Structure 1
Amino acid sequence: MAKLLEINNLRTSFHTYLGDIKAVRGVSLYLYKGEALGIVGESGSGKSITMMSIMRLLPENAEIKADSIKFNNKDLNKLSDRDMENIRGNEIGMIFQDPMTSLNPVFKIGYQLAEPLIKHKHMSKKEANKKVIEILRLVGIPGAEKRINQYPHEFSGGMRQRALIAMALVCNPKLLIADEPTTALDVTIQAQILELMKNLKSKIDMSIILITHDLGVVADLCNRINVMYGGMIIESGSTRDIFYNPRHPYTWGLLKSIPNPKEKIKGKLTPIEGTPPDLLKPPTGCPFAPRCDYTMKICLNNMPEAFKIDKGHFASCWLNHKNAPNIEKTNAGGK
Structure 2
Amino acid sequence: MSWIQQNKLPAAILGVSAAGAAGLGFMLFSAYSSYNTTLDQFDAVNNSLAGLKSAVLPPSPENLAIKQGLVKEFADVAGKLSLVLNTMQAESLPKPTTDTEFQAKLKAKIAESRKMAAERGMVLPAVYNLAFDRYTGELPKSNEIATQLSGYLDAVDSIVGAFAKAGVRQVDSLERSELASEKSEPAKPTTPQRPMPGRPVAPAAAPQLTERRQVTALLTLDQAALQQLMSNLASPSETTYFTVVRLLRIENERQDGPLRSEMNLPGPSTDAVDPALVPAGDPNAPAAPAGPVAAAPVDAVAVLGNERLRVYMEIDLVYFLGAQTASTGTR
Question: What is the TM-score with the length of structure 1 in the denominator?
Answer: 0.18
Q: Of Structure 1 and Structure 2, which has the larger fraction of its residues in strand?
A: 1
Greater relative CO, 1 or 2 (CA 8 Å, sep 6+): 2
More helix per residue: 2
Pick the structure with greater CA Rg. Answer: 2
